[in-house]
Structure 1
């Protein structure tokens, strides 16, 4: 074979580069590293916040036709509801007069009992109105996006309620929007109090196949039955006490376990919520009240110290005047003796 006809190109083994399996393992390792870094060190949080800020105008623009259509439908349906509500209001007016009289009597009695027992006044919490934009796209969680964010003063961990009861809690805050995790999410938990028996417990978000919510670790012989109303206990320092959370839907007691299986139905329907209130966390309010009490105590101490100082100065002046008058009396007595 002539020397010039030899193939001088490298074998195919050196032209192919890394194999497909090597590329797959490398990409998988990189993906795992990024997930761990984001979960532990929040390296992707600035990028996520910037992306949410850039997509916020686009989201609002895409939602504008839907909002316009809903407003048009709400107007037509609102006229019919207004006519029906007027008739119903006329029928309920007489009943409400009697209930109002009873409520005023109970309120006066409750106020007297509070003064006798020296109970503190009901806690007032700051609130911010917001509107639900859309539900998060994650099929394995129950989260919604609202149109208020850090620019309006929303904080992570703030409770979110509507006119029926507790909806959930703010878990992620952006500049002009925030993410709310609903109570029906599988990772959500809230301390509750049975309003009938005053028994405390913890309500968890249930799996989609088992129900929206459940009350775990409840003894099989516990005094709980269907229809019991559960409200917030206020022990977690986040939710104010007394807010409706859920009602007991079903209680299943089995002999093979020492715990009862309690299914709950949330009072506030998450799928129907549109307008919500964002409350200030209870721990923030308690911290502000503690600071105000400390400032008031400091001012009272300064006032008492100033009052004692003024009283001491007045006493010193009075003693000095009395001593001066005594010296003058002695001088006059000496002058009379010399004249004699």
Structure 2
């Protein structure tokens, strides 16, 4: 063998290969790629199911000491008695809470009925009682549904009151129920008169506030209105009987450069959490459409 063909370079002391950083970058990219493919294609689901099936006996074996301790603890007499006493105490607490809620509900009904009886003495004899079933789920309107309808001779346009003032007006009538649009609905309007000055106005719903308010629009800056003035129905529309309490003036402000005043009012009626109401037949026996304004 010729000496010129012999490799005279010394062998490396350690076997050389890719650097650690290169391995880290390649493996990280591969891991991200596998996660993306698994999220898109769910290719690793069978693998995970297989691993879970293989590890199930190991998990079961690891849980046995815990289950044994729990079983022993639950069979200790004092603990069992304590648990039974706690269960009885919870049951009694639930019963007491139910009784308290029923008593509070009955007390609220009693207060409302007493107030309604006082209000009914000032109304025409054709007023009838009704119960509010629920509020309308429409988030863009303020309406409630009562348990009286065509079968109870409820007419469209009938004023609805609680024990404090006008609550709204019947706008739709069904066989056994009716829909009442509250005064604070943005499409509702009611003619009113200031009991102190005798000035007539038109009150519109202003539902933007948390509790809902009314607004007197197109009032001159020289209008004679003060906070605390009481507004009642004027009766000019032929639907609402005159003299029903509607609202109290809350704030009077002047709109800059418009020549008009902004008058906000708080409804006399409770627009929330009312249980019982009075429905009064309209003054025109329903021959006129409901007083509802749609801008």
What range is the shorter-chain TM-score in?
0.5 to 0.7
Which residue number corresponds to residue 182 of structure 1?
182
2:103 to 40, 62, 75: 75
State the structure with bigger RCO (CA 8 A, min sep 6), 1 or 2.
2
| Structure 1 residues 107-142: Cα deviation after superposition (integer angstroms, max 9, x where no partner) | xxxxxxxxxxxxxxx983411110000000000000
Gaps of 5+ in 2: 1-96, 112-121, 289-295
Q: Take 2:259 and 2:248, find their aligned partners in 1: how far apart are those partners?
A: 22
Contact 1:146–1:179, Cα closer than 8 Å, also in 2: yes
* Structure 1 match to 2:194: 194
Structure 1: state its 5+ residue gaps: 1-68, 86-121, 288-340
Whether 1:271 aligns to 2:272 is yes
Deviation at 1:79, TM superposition (A): 7.5
Matches within 5 A, 1:279-290: 279-284=280-285
Q: Mark the CA change 1:215 to 1:71 in structure 2 (over 3 Å): closer, same or farther.
A: farther
1:184-223 matched pairs, under 5 angstroms: 184-209=184-209, 212-223=213-224
Query: What is the rounded CA distance, in whole Å, between the counterparts of 2:186 and 2:238 in structure 1?
Result: 21
Matches of 2:98 and 2:159, distance apart in 1? 27
Provide, for residues 74-101 of structure 1, a one-character-per-residue CA deviation record: whole Å limited to 9, x for no partner: 4257689x9xx9xxxxxxxxxxxxxxxx
Task: Check 1:182–1:153 CA distance in 2 against 1; reply closer, same or farther (3 A cut).
Answer: same
Cα separation, partners in 2 of 1:178 and 1:130, compared to 1, 3 Å: same
Q: Say which structure is richer in helix.
A: 1
Distance change in 2, residues 1:219/1:272 (3 Å): same
Shift in Å, 1:284: 2.4
Structure-2 change in CA distance of 1:79 and 1:202 (3 Å): closer
Cα pair 1:125 1:280 within 8 Å, conserved: no
Indicate conservation of the 8 Å contact 1:247/1:266, yes or no. Answer: yes
The whole-number CA distance in structure 2 between the counterparts of 1:77 and 1:146 is 18
Change (3 A) 1:216 1:275: same
Deviation of the 1:286 alpha carbon: 11
Alpha-carbon offset, residue 207 of structure 1: 3.9
Tell me the residue number matched to 1:148.
Answer: 148
RMSD: 3.0
* Distance in 2 between residues matched to 1:147 and 1:240, nearest whole Å: 23
Residues 278, 155 of structure 1: alpha-carbon distance in 2 compared, 3 angstrom cutoff: same
Sort the Cα spacing of 1:286 and 1:138 in 2 relative to 1 into closer, same or farther, 3 A.
closer
Is this contact kept in 2: 1:125–1:285, CA < 8 A? no
SS of structure 2 residue aligned to 1:273 = coil
Q: 1:195 Cα deviation (Å)?
A: 0.3
How far apart are residue 178 of structure 1 and its match? 0.5
What is residue 26 of structure 2 aligned with on the other side?
none
Superposed displacement of residue 253, structure 1: 1.4
